[in-house]
Amino acid sequence: MKRNNLPPRGLSDRQISYNDAPALRLYQVWQGNNEFALRGRLIFGPDSRSLYLTISLIVVPVILFCSVVSQSLVNYFPDNIGLLLAIIPAVFTLYIIVLIFFVSARDPGIIPRKPPSQDIDDNWDPASLSADWAPNRSNKFLAPTKSVNVNGMVVRVKFCQTCLIYRPPRCSHCSVCDNCVDRFDHHCPWVGQCIGKRNYRSFFMFVSSTTLLCLYVFSMCWVNIIMIMRENGSSIFEAFMKSPISGMLITYTFTVSWFVGGLSAFHLYLVLTNQTTYENFRNRYERRKNPFNRGCAYNFKEVFFSTKPRSQHDFRAFIKPEVYTQYNSSKYYMYAFSLNFSKNIYETESSIDGNELDLERCETSGMDHSSKWATAPDLHRLASKFVVENVARDK
């Protein structure tokens, strides 16, 4: 008897296409530009290859120091003191590499996106519209900003037209990773990752530890040069000719120390004043009070002794087909949803006793839902088949 392959009654074409779609994990349908490793356990930025350069700039000089310069220190210092001086930079380098891993391979504080749906503009009250709201072609409105209270001060947060959310205070959208990041500081090309609320502490420790490592190698190389001069009664030039590696490391570490040392001092200033790099470069609090600054001691405690918030994403969690088919992801789908945004420039403001504080330039959008984003069932099945082939290839 031939089996009936017809679907059960009561199921729509869209439900049938959802049932045919494979079960995918969040990292497999991720909309940002991030790269994942170990099947979603590690998340990197799109420029994560720069890590090879960063690590080599740290490891190679330490290898030269331990293999060449430290051998002289072992002979100069008795009672295994020279051996200890040679082991310290190796252990310190391993510690720095671990910090780099914590900065670059973890979620910096990505804010979840909202899937495109008609619910975004259905709940707005037309009577509450202000003059700076912008209509689109279908005469529907979308608020450019929303008021929130921060430590007794009213600030306006911006609506992100990419993530379809109102960004929390101090959140910004990274154009490199294509994500909204909580307490966004900057995107660091040296570690290939955004620096945000969840990895800023590790980033500061990485930069400051690298500074200390440079100063240590710089000092020990000078000690080696001085020992050569005393032992042979030679000039400083002759000592450098006898140990050229010491001269090279002195020049290298001196140059790098200015860069990482200045960066450490700058970020220490940001920590004590409770600012981010993004806010400082935009002169956010140059003429107005910083609503997040609560004193040097509290600011320092907030960064270094507060509990790190949990990630808002489980990248290995399975996503329902009806959810991930709503997203516009060119990696897994051969079509895109047509959301028509009309862009206008606005200023986000904060009001304190009648004074206005310019926070950031603001882009707002009106969303046109006149054309349905949901596609035909046949296109869903085609997308599902395309997903299966990509997932099998990834595995």
Of 231, 210, 222, residue with least CA distance to 69: 222
List the structure tokens of 168.
């929390």
What is the distance between the alpha carbons of residues 144 and 159, in angstroms, rounded to a whole number?
Answer: 6
Distance between alpha carbon 55 and the CA centroid of its chain, in Å? 18
Residue type, 152: G
Q: Where are the beta strands (DSSP E) in the chain?
A: 24-25, 35-37, 42-44, 134-135, 141-142, 145-150, 153-160, 165-166, 172-174, 179-181, 186-188, 193-195, 318-319, 340-352, 355-368
CA end-to-end span of the chain: 38
The verdict on whether 296 is a catalytic residue reads no
| Six token digits for residue 269 | 């200033």
Neighbouring CB atoms inside 10 A of 281's CB total: 10
The DSSP bridge partners found for residue 142 are: 134
Instruction: State the number of CA atoms in the 13 A half-sphere of 81 facing the CB.
Output: 5
Give the closest residue to 229 by CA, choosing from 238, 221, 220.
238
Do the Cβ atoms of 365 and 342 come closer than 8 Å? Answer: yes
Q: Which residues of 127-157 are buried (b: 16+ CB within 10 A; e: fewer)?
A: eeeeeebbebeeebbbbbbeeeeeeebebbb
Distances from the Cα of 375 to the Cαs of 45, 115, 247, 324, in angstroms? Answer: 31, 15, 66, 13
Q: What residues pair up with 155 in beta bridges, in sequence order?
A: 148, 350
Catalytic residue among 171, 177, 180, 188: 188
The dihedral through the CA atoms of 13, 16, 20, 24 has a sign that is positive
Annotated active-site positions, please? 188
